[in-house]
Amino acid sequence: MRHDLIRILEIQLYSMQTNRRNWIKQLGLATAGLGAGKLTALAEPTGFLREIQGAGLPIKLSSNENPYGPSPLARRAMAERINVSNRYDWDIATRLIETLAVKNNVRKDNILVAAGSTEVLDLILRYAASQQGNFVLAYPTYSYWSDPVVRMGLERKVVPLTKDKKMDLPAMLKAINGETKFVYVCNPNNPTGTVCDKDELLRFVNEASKQTLVIVDEAYIDYTTQPSLVSESVQNKNLVVVKTFSKIYGLAGARIGYMIAHSRTMEKIASLQSWNNGSVAVVSAAAAMASLSDTKFVSDTYHQNEKVKQYTMDQLKQLNIECIPSSTNFLYFSLDKYKYDFFKRLKDNQISGTYIYEDEGSWTRITIGTLTEMKQFIAAIR
């Protein structure tokens, strides 16, 4: 099986070398200059992917990826970098940081880039959790990072969301005490898709940061119309903002994320790494820079996601499934009134979803894929 796969890849690589036009098509570069139809074409697996996966492609609606990405410009930038991946490129991270500094209107020493925001979070937590104590987070929220922190000996203080599935910022503030080493805010929140009110969040950050480090994870902020907290973070030594290229920029597999913080705070956090900004692959850094310049792709993705999300919400409503309004590329809904075995339906139709986050109400999450994928999802659960 493994040999068959390698053989397919070898054949494909050979034909890629001998047919550049075909190769360009397979990379999806021929669709530069987008629109909803062409954006959807970018989501289609081409060439050897189709050969490997066959006709019954699994539908991945589990990890909140951008189904249309990487952008055509990012694909081109990655392809161009493959041939120089044998070399360290000491400057490329610097160039990426310069680009990010301009985009976020901050200084270069306010930024650190890493292999995904997962690495960024790990690094911040190594810094924040170096002394024993506790940390505060909501439930449910994005929390894979929290298990290692508990293993490091810190107590996890969990604050339930409000009834409308929003972060309960006053309760989180109350949970902070003299032993709290940091508080984590995911805005918008994964898995619920809810966003904090900007003024309320600012008030929270002002108060909480007097007592502890505040980490604001903005993985999905580009799916909202809400401004980022980056300008506040460079003024406030106790506020760190975490960002990723994995979501609207469509580079989840390229593994690239970054943080923005006050230069003093950044200095302390960066001192825990042996090679700052060194874990970002040359190919990924090139992709990130190209995708920042592809504003058309980002805006097309945003609008297409809104359209397909609305379709999915309408369909779920018709199925009597209660859904939380979402400011992201995923939906959180209750299976309380759903009569069938939801997860079996997904499995039978080769669709990957998630799991039950909250037993009370049986709440689960689904990523917004392409319109075709969401039609298949609705057909599967109908």
Ligand X SMILES: Cc1ncc(COP(=O)(O)O)c(C=O)c1O
**Given 154, 186, 283, 346, the residue binding ligand X (CB under 6 A):** 186
Task: Name which of 63 and 85 has its Cβ closer to ligand X.
Answer: 63
Task: Give yes or no for residue 117 binding ligand X (CB under 6 A).
Answer: yes
Binding mask 302-341 for ligand X (x = CB under 6 A): ----------------------------------------
| DSSP structure string for 124-148 | HHHHHTSSSSEEEEEESS--TTHHH
Task: Name which of 118 and 162 has its Cβ closer to ligand X.
Answer: 118
Task: Look at residues 266, 341, 235 and name the one whose alpha carbon lies nearest to residue 111.
Answer: 266
Distance CA 321, CA 24 (A): 43
Task: Name which of 34 and 222 has its Cβ closer to ligand X.
Answer: 222
Closest separation between CB of residue 190 and ligand X, Å? Answer: 4
What six digits make up the tokens of 274?
Answer: 């042996």
Size of the site for ligand X (CB under 6 A): 14
Task: Give yes or no for residue 62 binding ligand X (CB under 6 A).
Answer: no
Q: Which of residues 257-276 bind ligand X (CB under 6 A)?
A: 257
Task: Give yes or no for residue 143 binding ligand X (CB under 6 A).
Answer: no
Q: Tell the residue number behind the tokens 């907290």, with chain if given.
A: 229
Residue 77 C-beta-side C-alpha neighbours within 13 Å: 22
**Given 219, 266, 313, 324, the residue binding ligand X (CB under 6 A):** 219
Task: Give yes or no for residue 69 binding ligand X (CB under 6 A).
Answer: no
Distance CA 86, CA 90 (A): 13
Distance CA 53, CA 191 (A): 29
Task: Give yes or no for residue 116 binding ligand X (CB under 6 A).
Answer: yes
CA 105 to chain centre: 22
Task: Look at residues 265, 256, 290 and name the one whose alpha carbon lies nearest to residue 214.
Answer: 265
**Given 66, 134, 238, 244, the residue binding ligand X (CB under 6 A):** 244
Residues 6+ apart with CB under 8 A from 6: none
Task: Name which of 213 and 219 has its Cβ closer to ligand X.
Answer: 219
Instruction: List residues binding ligand X (CB under 6 A).
Output: 63-64, 116-118, 142, 186, 190, 217, 219, 244, 246, 252, 257
